[in-house]
Structure 1
């Protein structure tokens, strides 16, 4: 027989005779969250804050080095604070206080120490893996500097300053609304290579001022600021400040002010930059002001105010909901819901309302998905510049996530105490999740729709251009009105053309007079003058035709979908300038598909398709009538494969980001990053067939409004049914090809 292994005593037996005391330097403040008291403990050495409920705080204040932990527990039971059944939880909480550094315990447990060592090593390895994306570098302790300079910043946090900020913000919104079209124009070239250094420098300065806004707000309310440094996000330096001391403030409004102080400063700078941009004529100053407007607005909306990331918006939302450790509690709600509904584990309901539980569940799911997307998005950004580094980051993150999830799930399902009563069901769910889901994704075909950017046009489009230069005198055509061939569209006026016609007519009259005078007695000279008369008549006819060309008429029958506005009257029109666009025939949609989309949909003439305008509304059915390359890759000299330098036709510019679309093109050359194919889809003119007459009459104006010429939208094509794993692999391969081309 093997020798029996002595059983390790439980935690209560090991700690019952230990004497401990609480560190005297801990800062404690009392708060009320959602009507319930809580206590915030702040460690002045690590600058970390921890929340305790009243029951745990009662245990904390009872700890005294003059008595053993067993004696303290007996006293708590005698006073009715605890029951005998809570002995294990009591000692577990004491041990947790020790792990947080609040106590010192004379323990010697090799296995425990080794487990903690292994956990620290794994955490360090994970931190090294992600440090390329998020690297925090502390630089200095700004508290003394802030203490000396707070008198200069204190007026910024007064009610008067807030009122001025509100007035300035409203004025900035009105200016932006009035010049919204002009405000969108520089966006086209914002990300041009020549502008990136200025954007980078502007972002750094803005973020430094943003963090000083938090720091001075902390000092305004008397909060200690122990650390300030650099936070590298995808190699882009941003500033950070340690404002965790604000949890020591008992008033929620003060904590919210500190959380919003950075955006308060940044939005004020953006408003001032908007005023400078709208008033200055200097190109350099205008570009700098526009960069400030864009960066302050985009970073505030996408990052700072976004509660799904642990920036300002997260802490403000946590205060508004009165839920400290919002993400941790949301994750707990998500896990408890999965345990309860998927595994059937009998868990007591959390002490919160159903509405709050639903809010935390949605927040937890969204935060987890958003974090994964941000990590993979940053990895893709790094891969676009450093392919192998970005690929290693993405693969490492996904592999670590899958390994940790699989290991924890396996240990919980097969060996967890909570799953012991439902072990069979737990194992079945685990096998289904770990084996069944990947297997189903690999073998079960899933239909996938393909969506592509599209532009509304017509079967026949005629662009009427000015044949001669002149000043726009009047506009007769109206947008949306039908026209017949020869119908007058606009009238131009050119004094030089009228003077040239008058001079030619004068020369013709003089030549005729001389011809008639020579006809009686000098026939030879009369014959010469007759030739001059013929030449002058031709010149008069030519000048008359030129003057008539100033009356621009419709060359074909159709409907006017674009024309010069009447407000252009008096403006000079160059030769070749667009006057109007006339369309005829059925509505057509031109869509642009990438090679990946073409492979997934394999569209052919006769295939069904649907178009939905960008403004919303119903989808309009149609049929694919033509498929052709729209932007093929051009062959570079000396290469054996095409290089990704395609460009789109000018009439499809509305689908690019230069025209407000999604297709990315180079702001300087107008070239796309990959080849595109153009699909022509003829919309079904019988889309209202089968409707009652009244409904058809009601649908007609809606259809006309939704299908205006030049309206953009999305085309939906039916793709091949393929396993989900194959679809993901195809997208990854396409993304990999684009990175290698870049």
Structure 2
């Protein structure tokens, strides 16, 4: 009885409308081809091996194709490689399926693409496109009329205008920078948006017209919304047909070139326009629009012009997905010591480029998406903003990390037998221990030590310094004369008010002799009262010019700028009087450390002054409300550790919530003599030990509760 010979199932035929076009050389110099699916407007770059397999696809059997490629070309291909390529074609719907099996597969694809309303809302909220124009007919009409902009003469004209613009602006550069933005009304605001739309529309038509110049179709142009932020876009996917790297780079850079050219002509027009909204509009085109374009579009880490310029220049298509896949393989090999084949074989220099580019892109996207999440949060009301921020962080940041962790889980149990895996596991345990173990049992806060009785003496009114009566560090008694000042203007005003009062008294004394004075008696009494009040006020100010010690203590920090015989302005500080026998420590704790500070058992003050010993102290009280102002010595603008700004009264206002803690030094401390006035330092509060993870979770919970408005 004859044996039955089993044959492999026949391969499905290729779809008839597919096109295979010559592609550019790869970054390693190997030839490539482009497989075009016109029905879906998709392009696939294939190599030499895949092209040879496609050329013999009509053989219909994996083994037959492999043998034909091996015998008819320098390549060696086995049936498994043909099968892998067949699976790639099947997954991308490039094969013509028939029968029940094909119909069932298509139904499965449709079912997999179905989304719940929540998934649809999530995807379309994050990113969606609105096609506005099918520009091929318009481009066909425009190009013959605008072909001259690609000529050498136009390039010379543009360079000449640029040089002339630079010359004209150099003569009025300060005036150019001080251009007034006339956008403070609806008309000006409309001109602002028109200028912005002109620049961005010209940018997109730069891509589209250049693509048309090289024979590429432009199916659509429109507006895309990335997290509700509108951006114009041009579908230039047809450029995959081009084999010339120069042409692909020209199309990718045409948008930026168009905006830069517009900026040159706008800057030239600014030199000849009068002040007004039109001049402000061209100023905008000459400055901010192209700067924003360069800052955003030239980044190679997002899929904007800079990414495609880099990809086309290096001849590396799909740079991001390829580098991401390669770096994931590299990371797994680094962590687990796996000996898996890489996604693609790369020379050493390209190996490190792919790894470095992937890491830079991941870090860039992490901070970018985090910033977008914060922007979304602040754009909406608190609760909705918080939910949308969580969606942003979850989708763009946590989802990729979770996907990679699931991939690690599927590596199998053998992965943990590798020595590299054990080292990675040990490092993970150490990191978890650092985060979870409550080893941090103290809080360091900025502080200052000062005398409990402390007076900063300043000048109540402008006056002349006649004489200093003390020196810095001198012991003074309560009421002792510290400085004598005088003011001729004040003396004159005091004498004038005295004479005014005497005149009114004379008029009152002779009111019986003069009928007119008798009728003005009530007015004269009011004038007498006013003159007396003025005289008392001036005498009080004169007494204030005799500066006396308010209590027993030391005279400190005499104003070295104030010399005898010099006039001083009102409010100028003269000196400080402090009683060093009793001192307090004033510390400021951040909101996230407030709970721990309330449980502090002991504290130590560490002065900034070298050569002084720490001071043991105890917590006396903690203010329940946040500090509205802080001492200038602790503010960041004066070298302190607390981020602060100056208010209208030049007082230091903290940027974030801080709470004042009053501490009192222990009586036995011997270092108090070193601080007769006021000195900066820090306080270490000994608190119950907490873990870093606990502190982080508590801080996040505090922020969430506060910002959500609960």
Note the 1:508-587 alignment, pairs <5 A: none
In the alignment, which of 677, 688, 698 is matched to residue 730 of structure 1? 698
Q: Report the Cα distance in structure 2 between the residues aligned to 1:234 and 1:36, rounded to whole angstroms.
A: 40
Larger Rg: 1 or 2?
2
In the alignment, which of 230, 245, 248 is matched to residue 252 of structure 1? 245
Q: Report the Cα distance in structure 2 between the residues aligned to 1:717 and 1:288, rounded to whole angstroms.
A: 59
In the alignment, which of 591, 602, 627 is matched to residue 595 of structure 1? 591
Q: Report the Cα distance in structure 2 between the residues aligned to 1:448 and 1:38, rounded to whole angstroms.
A: 63
| Residue 359 in structure 1 maps to residue 356 in structure 2 | no
Secondary structure of 1:23 counterpart: coil
Alpha carbons 2:588, 2:659 under 8 Å: kept = yes
In the alignment, which of 71, 95, 99 is matched to residue 91 of structure 2? 99
Q: Report the Cα distance in structure 2 between the residues aligned to 1:307 and 1:91, rounded to whole angstroms.
A: 35
Q: Report the Cα distance in structure 2 between the residues aligned to 1:364 and 1:217, rounded to whole angstroms.
A: 27
Aligned to 1:158: 155
| Residue 140 in structure 1 maps to residue 133 in structure 2 | yes
Alpha carbons 1:631, 1:677 under 8 Å: kept = yes
Q: CA deviation at 1:111?
A: 7.8
Aligned to 2:47: 53
Q: CA deviation at 1:334?
A: 1.5
In the alignment, which of 186, 203, 207 is matched to residue 213 of structure 1? 203
Secondary structure of 1:144 counterpart: helix
Q: Report the Cα distance in structure 2 between the residues aligned to 1:628 and 1:307, rounded to whole angstroms.
A: 55
Secondary structure of 1:255 counterpart: helix
Secondary structure of 1:237 counterpart: strand
Q: CA deviation at 1:299?
A: 6.1
In the superposition, the TM-score normalised over structure 2's length comes to 0.60
Residue by residue over 1:215-244, the C-alpha shift from the partner in whole angstroms, topping out at 9 and shown as x without a partner, is 324423524322212222332322122233
In the alignment, which of 425, 428, 437 is matched to residue 444 of structure 1? 437
Q: Report the Cα distance in structure 2 between the residues aligned to 1:628 and 1:204, rounded to whole angstroms.
A: 60
Q: Report the Cα distance in structure 1 between the residues aligned to 2:301 and 2:354, rounded to whole angstroms.
A: 12
Alpha carbons 1:215, 1:243 under 8 Å: kept = no
Aligned to 1:15: 10
Secondary structure of 1:14 counterpart: coil
Q: CA deviation at 1:42?
A: 4.3
| Residue 235 in structure 1 maps to residue 225 in structure 2 | no
Q: Report the Cα distance in structure 1 between the residues aligned to 2:201 and 2:684, rounded to whole angstroms.
A: 46
Q: CA deviation at 1:87?
A: 0.9
Aligned to 1:688: none
Secondary structure of 2:31 counterpart: strand
Q: Report the Cα distance in structure 2 between the residues aligned to 1:281 and 1:717, rounded to whole angstroms.
A: 61
**Residues 422 and 387 of structure 1: is their aligned pair in 2 closer, same or farther, counting only changes over 3 Å?**
same
Q: CA deviation at 1:331?
A: 1.0
Q: Report the Cα distance in structure 2 between the residues aligned to 1:245 and 1:14, rounded to whole angstroms.
A: 35
Secondary structure of 2:98 counterpart: coil
Q: CA deviation at 1:325?
A: 1.3
Alpha carbons 1:630, 1:648 under 8 Å: kept = no
Q: CA deviation at 1:346?
A: 1.1
In the alignment, which of 319, 329, 341 is matched to residue 336 of structure 1? 329
**Residues 216 and 721 of structure 1: is their aligned pair in 2 closer, same or farther, counting only changes over 3 Å?**
farther
Residue by residue over 1:561-617, the C-alpha shift from the partner in whole angstroms, topping out at 9 and shown as x without a partner, is 999xxxxxxxxxxx97x99999999xxxx9987523656788999767899xxxxxx
**Residues 55 and 558 of structure 1: is their aligned pair in 2 closer, same or farther, counting only changes over 3 Å?**
farther
Aligned to 1:692: none
Residue by residue over 1:182-236, the C-alpha shift from the partner in whole angstroms, topping out at 9 and shown as x without a partner, is 79x99xxx9xxx9999989957863663353243244235243222122223323
Alpha carbons 1:21, 1:65 under 8 Å: kept = no
Q: Report the Cα distance in structure 1 between the residues aligned to 2:458 and 2:272, rounded to whole angstroms.
A: 35
Alpha carbons 1:228, 1:240 under 8 Å: kept = yes
Q: Report the Cα distance in structure 2 between the residues aligned to 1:299 and 1:603, rounded to whole angstroms.
A: 53
Residue by residue over 1:67-97, the C-alpha shift from the partner in whole angstroms, topping out at 9 and shown as x without a partner, is 666544432132145546x212212213323
Aligned to 1:322: 315
| Residue 306 in structure 1 maps to residue 299 in structure 2 | yes
Specify every segment of 5 or more residues in structure 1 that has no aligned partner in the other structure, as ranges: 1-8, 470-485, 487-496, 505-534, 550-555, 564-574, 612-620, 634-645, 681-713
Q: Report the Cα distance in structure 2 between the residues aligned to 1:282 and 1:366, rounded to whole angstroms.
A: 44
Q: Report the Cα distance in structure 1 between the residues aligned to 2:49 and 2:341, rounded to whole angstroms.
A: 18
Aligned to 1:472: none
In the alignment, which of 24, 27, 30 is matched to residue 30 of structure 1? 24
Aligned to 1:225: 218
Secondary structure of 1:36 counterpart: coil
Q: Report the Cα distance in structure 1 between the residues aligned to 2:561 and 2:108, rounded to whole angstroms.
A: 74
Residue by residue over 1:241-299, the C-alpha shift from the partner in whole angstroms, topping out at 9 and shown as x without a partner, is 22333344444344334333434444566675799699986699769957995565456
In the alignment, which of 362, 372, 395 is matched to residue 368 of structure 1? 362
Q: Report the Cα distance in structure 2 between the residues aligned to 1:411 and 1:292, rounded to whole angstroms.
A: 50
Superposed CA RMSD: 7.0
Alpha carbons 2:457, 2:574 under 8 Å: kept = yes
Q: CA deviation at 1:422?
A: 4.1
Q: CA deviation at 1:124?
A: 9.4
**Residues 368 and 403 of structure 1: is their aligned pair in 2 closer, same or farther, counting only changes over 3 Å?**
closer
In the superposition, the TM-score normalised over structure 1's length comes to 0.58
Alpha carbons 2:587, 2:683 under 8 Å: kept = yes
Note the 1:420-459 alignment, pairs <5 A: 422=415, 424=417, 443-445=436-438
Q: Report the Cα distance in structure 2 between the residues aligned to 1:603 and 1:288, rounded to whole angstroms.
A: 62
Alpha carbons 1:172, 1:275 under 8 Å: kept = no
Alpha carbons 1:410, 1:430 under 8 Å: kept = no
Q: CA deviation at 1:115?
A: 5.9
Aligned to 1:377: 371
- Give the total of aligned pairs: 598
Note the 1:630-641 alignment, pairs <5 A: none
Alpha carbons 1:330, 1:361 under 8 Å: kept = yes
**Residues 336 and 465 of structure 1: is their aligned pair in 2 closer, same or farther, counting only changes over 3 Å?**
farther
**Residues 428 and 145 of structure 1: is their aligned pair in 2 closer, same or farther, counting only changes over 3 Å?**
same
Alpha carbons 1:40, 1:50 under 8 Å: kept = yes
Residue by residue over 1:381-407, the C-alpha shift from the partner in whole angstroms, topping out at 9 and shown as x without a partner, is 333314444444444566667677657
**Residues 280 and 109 of structure 1: is their aligned pair in 2 closer, same or farther, counting only changes over 3 Å?**
same
Alpha carbons 1:142, 1:226 under 8 Å: kept = yes
Q: Report the Cα distance in structure 1 between the residues aligned to 2:286 and 2:315, rounded to whole angstroms.
A: 34
Aligned to 1:347: 340
Residue by residue over 1:345-403, the C-alpha shift from the partner in whole angstroms, topping out at 9 and shown as x without a partner, is 21346533334322322322332344344344333333331444444444456666767
Residue by residue over 1:443-498, the C-alpha shift from the partner in whole angstroms, topping out at 9 and shown as x without a partner, is 3347599999x999x999999999789xxxxxxxxxxxxxxxx9xxxxxxxxxx9x
**Residues 717 and 455 of structure 1: is their aligned pair in 2 closer, same or farther, counting only changes over 3 Å?**
closer
Q: CA deviation at 1:130?
A: 3.6
| Residue 39 in structure 1 maps to residue 33 in structure 2 | yes
Aligned to 1:553: none
**Residues 423 and 311 of structure 1: is their aligned pair in 2 closer, same or farther, counting only changes over 3 Å?**
same
Secondary structure of 2:25 counterpart: strand
Alpha carbons 1:461, 1:581 under 8 Å: kept = no
**Residues 607 and 28 of structure 1: is their aligned pair in 2 closer, same or farther, counting only changes over 3 Å?**
farther
Q: Report the Cα distance in structure 1 between the residues aligned to 2:622 and 2:173, rounded to whole angstroms.
A: 40
Q: Report the Cα distance in structure 1 between the residues aligned to 2:574 and 2:282, rounded to whole angstroms.
A: 38
Secondary structure of 1:323 counterpart: coil
Specify every segment of 5 or more residues in structure 2 that has no aligned partner in the other structure, as ranges: 1-5, 464-481, 483-488, 497-530, 546-554, 563-568, 579-585, 663-681
